Amino acid sequence: MEFKILTLNCWGLAVVSRNRSQRMQAIAEMLATSHYDVVCLQEIWLNSDYELIKHKVSGVLPYSHYFYSGVTGSGVCILSRYPMEEVFFHQWPVNGYIHKIHHGDWFGGKGVGLCRLKVNNYCVNVYSAHLHAEYDRKCDEYQAHRVLQSFDTAQFIQMTSGGADLVVLAGDLNTEPGDLAYRLMLSVPGLVDAFNEAGETALDIVATNESLTNSYTPPSLVKKNIPGKRIDYIMYHPGSNLQIDLKSYSLPLPDRVPGCDYSYSDHEAVAATLVISKNDVLAAKEDLQMKKTVLEESIQICDEALKSLGHNKYLYWFFTFVLFVLLVTTLATNSPFGLNFVYHILKVVITVFMFYTLIMATIWNKIEKHAVIAGKLAMSTALRKLKTKDS
């Protein structure tokens, strides 16, 4: 039996995303004429866009589910040709920062969504996720968050896929091949990257973001001929009695929406066709050494994050003290040069910033610290299990 999957980050931010309404219409029309069994979409931030796509594709993908979370919604939804028997959303404990409004990841309440499908006589678990964005690869302040999200997702897949005949993870993972988060995602639950399985046939279709042929790629990157990044994936894993073969891997959409001068999104869609068959051969021995290596590296990242949180805590306390002294000074003195209004505004600004640094030094620091510790403890438990198995 063949099973066809497509994943696409739709770049559906209100106001910010260019040509959003036209592109959503084009995406809906494209999917309505497609023959996919499952479609995983990310960055569907507006309910109206989800309803548009859901209505347009109902003829070929009659079953759909949006994973509501956070302030704006997770942006993740799954459309299916087959009935959804169960759905579940697992929100990650670390999701960026509330005060980084220009990044906005925290407001989405990001996590991993699961839809369990009944595909003929097979039970198929489809997972879709959108990890925290990188923003700056040279100075990545979110590396620990993304590593923890990756491990959390890997664990979630491992713990919920016991009775599944096929496991599929599709989405924008915001991590490049070779990165620690990528290696965690593959090694812990034993997933296979469809791109790697495609081998030489996929060498010309690497970039899924900032592709040189995408209309939304910054001209500076195109001018310098800087190749894009592969951060959108389809990964899979068969059940114990099945064999999964990759029939095809592709970036199926054209460079431009037909008749328009813009692309479907700033990301490329990724599609894969899997062939499911019975398997009488024993499963290959899992690579315990690779699992141990990625877990040890991940624990080290957590330790570094905890040290950074300790430094940040004292830094925020220092700023709180300085702002408190400034506030007391302004309250104890008269406004200079008769600028009463400006002086009152200054007091308000100092008070607001003082409460901000106080919250960051106490409540927020504690929340993030506990989330990192929880992830580190789970990694340590998994590592101990592997070492016991290897001994």
Q: Which residues are catalytic?
A: 267
Are the CB atoms for 229 and 209 separated by under 8 Å? yes
Across 70-89, b (16+ Cβ under 10 Å) vs e yields: bebbbbbbbbbbbebeeeeb
Tokens 């600004």, residue? 349
Question: How far apart, in whole angstroms, are the C-alpha atoms of residue 149 and residue 139?
Answer: 19
- Say how many C-beta atoms besides its own lie within 10 A of residue 15's C-beta: 6
Question: How far apart, in whole angstroms, are the C-alpha atoms of residue 211 and residue 255?
Answer: 10
Q: CA torsion sign, 88 to 378 to 97 to 350?
A: positive
Region of 214 please: left (phi>0), alpha (psi -120 to 50) or beta: beta
Q: Angle at CA 251, nearest 5°, toward 69 and 185?
A: 50
Tell me the two tokens of residue 170: 């599709």
Tell me the two tokens of residue 294: 């990625």
Are the CB atoms for 175 and 11 separated by under 8 Å? no
DSSP sequence for 99-135:
T-TTT-GGGGT-EEEEEEEEETTEEEEEEEEEPPP-S
Question: How far apart, in whole angstroms, are the C-alpha atoms of residue 313 and residue 369?
Answer: 10
Are the CB atoms for 233 and 270 separated by under 8 Å? yes
- Say how many C-beta atoms besides its own lie within 10 A of residue 192's C-beta: 17
